[in-house]
């Protein structure tokens, strides 16, 4: 199993079309996709949930906008990381499904996207630190230690979650990666390979993703690693889920393992 994960992660790193891990900050200031009207409707939440939103300040004085859905006696935490050129609002259409799973849910705008602000050039390393900060905040907001943590990422958010997984493989964790993109990173594949045997992995791709990757995608199905491709879909990212009930079912299976 370690070899299989090693090959997949290596493919994500080797196939990278960008050199280095510095990301142009101009890319991370696009707020055009953000809907500022009626951002959240807390009244639509179940009575079991409470809701809060706000900003978390990072070590480099960036500000991360977050939304936290909290309930007592939860099964764990779901962490949602959106794709590039987007915001946390992309998850709104699926929130009802997530809320049914009896988990606390935290979503956030990647630095420079949506309502989050970046104080300097964004890098993969900084975004990994941001994700850790978000998880720690959600954990500190809970009455007890989470039994399970589920990371769901789309596009760039999938890569950030996957590259951060080494920090969470020693707890009950699952990683659901939707259309990961090709970005280079300083992650040690050996370190990832060493600690992640007990986690669950689900990679979701579409026919378009497969084509974009020049068909260089390793497909493995093991007890704790599964790759699924919608061979009929030209959708990518979260749109795959909106048009494939099988993927939604598989996500629920992974979360409820």
Chain segment 227-254, per-residue pLDDT in tens = 788 877 778 888 888 888 888 998 998 8
Q: Distance between CA atoms of 108 and 119, rounded to whole angstroms? A: 17
E strand residue ranges, 10-154 = 22-23, 50-57, 63-70, 77-81, 104-108, 122-123, 149-154
Residue 224 lies in a domain: yes
Question: Pairing relation of β-strands 122-123 and 149-154?
Answer: unpaired
Residue 69 lies in a domain: yes
> pLDDT, tens digit, for every residue of 10-20?
444 433 333 33
Q: Are 221 and 227 in contact (CB under 8 A)?
A: yes
Residue 59 belongs to domain with CATH number: 3.40.50.1820
Residue 38 lies in a domain: no
Q: Are 200 and 175 in contact (CB under 8 A)?
A: yes
Low-confidence residues of the chain: pLDDT under 70: 1-47, 181-196, 212-223, 257
pLDDT for the residue numbered 42: 53
Global confidence as pTM? 0.80
pLDDT for the residue numbered 153: 95
Q: Show the DSSP H helices in the chain as ranges.
A: 2-14, 95-99, 124-140, 156-163, 189-195, 207-212, 238-242, 245-255
Coil, helix or strand for 38?
Answer: coil
Residue 48 lies in a domain: no
The tally of domains found in the chain comes to 1
Parent domain of 69: 2-30+54-255
Residue 12 lies in a domain: yes
Q: Are 205 and 227 in contact (CB under 8 A)?
A: yes
Residue 8 lies in a domain: yes
Residue 135 lies in a domain: yes
pLDDT for the residue numbered 83: 92
Residue 49 lies in a domain: no
């Amino acid at each position: 199993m370690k070899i299989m994960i090693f090959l997949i992660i290596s493919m994500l790193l080797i196939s990278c079309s960008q050199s280095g891990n510095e990301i142009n900050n101009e890319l991370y200031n696009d707020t055009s996709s953000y809907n500022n009207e009626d951002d959240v409707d807390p009244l639509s939440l179940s009575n079991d949930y409470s809701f809060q939103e706000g900003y978390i300040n990072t070590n480099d004085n960036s500000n991360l906008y977050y939304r936290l859905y909290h309930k007592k006696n939860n099964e764990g935490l779901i962490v949602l990381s959106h794709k590039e050129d987007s915001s946390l609002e992309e998850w709104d259409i699926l929130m009802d499904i997530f809320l049914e799973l009896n988990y606390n849910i935290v979503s956030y705008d990647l630095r420079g996207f949506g309502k989050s602000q970046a104080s300097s050039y964004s890098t993969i390393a900084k975004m990994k630190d941001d994700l850790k900060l978000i998880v720690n905040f959600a954990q500190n907001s809970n009455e007890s230690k989470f039994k399970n943590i589920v990371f769901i990422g789309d596009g760039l958010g999938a890569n950030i979650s996957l590259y951060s997984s080494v920090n969470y493989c020693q707890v009950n964790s699952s990683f659901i990666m939707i259309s990961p993109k090709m970005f280079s990173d300083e992650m040690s594949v050996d370190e990832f390979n060493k600690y992640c045997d007990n986690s669950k992995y689900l990679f979701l791709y579409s026919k378009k993703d497969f084509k974009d990757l020049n068909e260089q995608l390793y497909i493995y199905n093991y007890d704790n690693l599964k790759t699924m491709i919608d061979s009929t879909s030209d959708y990518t990212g979260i749109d795959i889920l909106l048009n494939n009930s099988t993927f939604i079912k598989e996500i629920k299976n992974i979360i409820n393992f």
